[in-house]
Every structure is written in structure tokens, then in C-alpha cells.
Amino acid sequence: MPPDGLPMKRRTFLALAACAAWLPAGTTRAKGSAHAPVPGLYVFGTLPAPERIRHVFAAGAPAAVLVHAVVPDKLLGWPWALSADALALLAPQARALPVLGRLAGRGSTMPLERLVALGPDIIVDAGTVDGNYLSSAERIHRQTGIPYVLIDGRLADSARQLRDTGHLLGAGERGEALARHAETVLAACPPSAPQAGQKVYLARGADGLETPLPGSVNSECIEAACAVNAARGSGNLARVSLEQLLAWAPDAIVTQYAEFAALARRDAAWNALPAVRAGRLFLAPNLPFGWLDGPPSVNRLIGVRWLREVLSPRQPATDWIDEAQAFHRLFYGHVPPRELLARSIAAA
């Protein structure tokens, strides 16, 4: 993420302070503005009054989860196809939403002509903001005339993201309630705390040999759970070897991929790792959204608590079916049947 104040030649945007009084109707971007006194919200176009916003297009998966959590009745559709098992854990209204495609990330799957025909009042994107995302957002706004908002933030910024989204979309009280939950979850391991916890390897893919590197958006659950990323290097995702893993010597391995967990537990090469031999390979739930990743949005707040507990030397005491029901009630506005959650958690 670029530091605040990075020059933005040929880009025009208005960055809005998250802690300031909310914007009045008709707020628009200021030509030539380079940064806000407090970074967090980037707006292209004229914002409708919050109470007039009825239809929100989520530019990518993180934004869709965020918007669904705050204003589920305003989300126009999902940027990607959810599995039948994932949809079964959501409210009927969410299950009925169409798959629309995405604007954000590598390769948009939403033609702008179709986007205009959908008639959203606003486009919302969320996550790490950089020059590419800003340029893309401005271009899409100019071509469609639809106001486009980028909500900057990583996992540690979840509370601000939830508050900003609530104010922006006319659900300030709900955004505040969700933000307070996020603050409670993340308070145990603030970003400023020294990293002195267990070394954790986050295994991705069917073979477990892809991993997020320290500081990347996909590894944030590790640090938020008071642990240390066992991987080394800089960047986002990396392919690694078992030899590298042996050298890194993680205290624990976590994954959301059931096929990898099954492989590692029976494979002699993986059992050369002390963490696997000691039973310190943990499979996280991934429905309806990943508890650790996929997408990197507010869905990870329950995963932070789960990871913190499974890494603890104490005997786990939490009933995660009860915890999942409570999280679903608060964030997804729907409590799935206990037996459905039991199957999804037991599968992990």
C-alpha cells in the first residue's frame, strides 16, 4: 500500500477522513486533490445521500462480504459463484442473489455496458488501495457516470471499514455494532505488539506449497492471532518447497484446503515436519467464506479467534458451532441450522 501523500499524477480523487463528520449529500471529488488528512475513503463522482442508496455493486469479493454484512438488502449480487454448501449457510435473500462478476482484481468479468444496465446507485470496492486501483476506479467512473468508492483497509482496519460502510450506505448503527465486535476481536493482538508467538505456516492449494508472505493481505490472520508467519521473503504469495519448510521449522501449519490436510497427514515427506508429527496441522472452516482467507475481508474475524485458540497450549474450550451461529447472526443476519454448521466445522 503506498504511504499517505504519495504523488498521484494524472489521477484525481477526494480522500475522505474516516473519523470526521459524515459527508453531506452531493459530495464530489475535488480535482487535483492528492490525499486526505486521514486516509481511508476514496470517492470518484457525486455521492448520493445515504438514504437514497438502494442498489450497491460490489467491485470484488472483499467488498461483497463487507457490503453484505452491513446492508445485505442493498447488495446487487455476488462477484463470484458461491458453492451450494456456502449458500446453504446464508439467508434466503443472499442465496437468491445473482452472480454478476467483478470489476476489481486481475481481469474484470463485468462488461461496463451491463454494469450501467444494472443501474447501481454506487460502486464499492474494499481492501488495499494503490495507484492501479485508484486509476481503474476513476476510469470506470468516467466511463459509466456511477459514483465509485474505494474503502481502504486491511484486517486491522476492519472496525473503520465497517463504520465507514455503515455511514456511506445509510446503516450507521449497524456499522457501529459490527465495528465494536471487530475492535474486541482484534484488541488482543494489536499491530504494534511485538511478534513473539508461535511460527505458523499457512498452506494454500491442494499440495500446500503456496503460502502468503509476511506482511501480505492473505497472511493477516496469523499476526492478528498473536503468531508469527513462518515464511520468509517479501511480496504476496509464493511457491515453496518442503526443504524450505524444514528450514523454517513452523510450530504449526494451518490450511483451509481439506485435500491438502488429508495428504499431509498420510504423506511421509510431510510427516518429516515436526509440526505434522505432533498433530499441529489444523484445518480451518471455509464456509460460507474462509475463516482465514478467501476473501480477505471481515469474514476473517471469526477465524482470528479460532486460530488464536487452536494455537493455545490450553485445551480448547469454545463450542465453535455456538460461536459460528453467533457470528452468523451478527454479521450475516441469519442463523443457519446447527446441523449444517456442525457439518461444515466437523469437516475442518
The band of 281, judged by pLDDT with boundaries at 50, 70 and 90, is very high
Strand partners, 203: 255
The predicted structure's pLDDT at residue 33: 35
Per-domain residue ranges of the chain: 14-185, 199-346
Structure confidence by residue, pLDDT tens digits, 47-86: 999 999 999 999 999 999 999 999 999 999 999 999 999 9
Strand partners, 75: 56
Please give the share of the chain, as a percent, with pLDDT higher than 90: 76
User: Within 13 Å and on the Cβ side, how many CA atoms surround 90?
Assistant: 23
Tell me the CATH class for 199-346: alpha beta
Mean pLDDT across 27-41: 46
Instruction: Compute the distance between CA of residue 228 and CA of residue 58 in angstroms, rounded to an integer.
Output: 32
Identical fold, 14-185 and 199-346: yes
14-185 folds as: Rossmann fold (3.40.50)
Mean pLDDT across 105-118: 90
Residue 238, all three cell numbers: 509464493
Using alpha carbons, list the distances in angstroms from residue 240 to 207, 248, 283. 11, 11, 19
- Residue 247, exposed/middle/buried by CB under 10 A (0-12, 13-18, 19+)? exposed
Helix H or strand E segment including 127:
strand 122-127
The band of 297, judged by pLDDT with boundaries at 50, 70 and 90, is very high
Structure confidence by residue, pLDDT tens digits, 259-269: 999 999 999 99
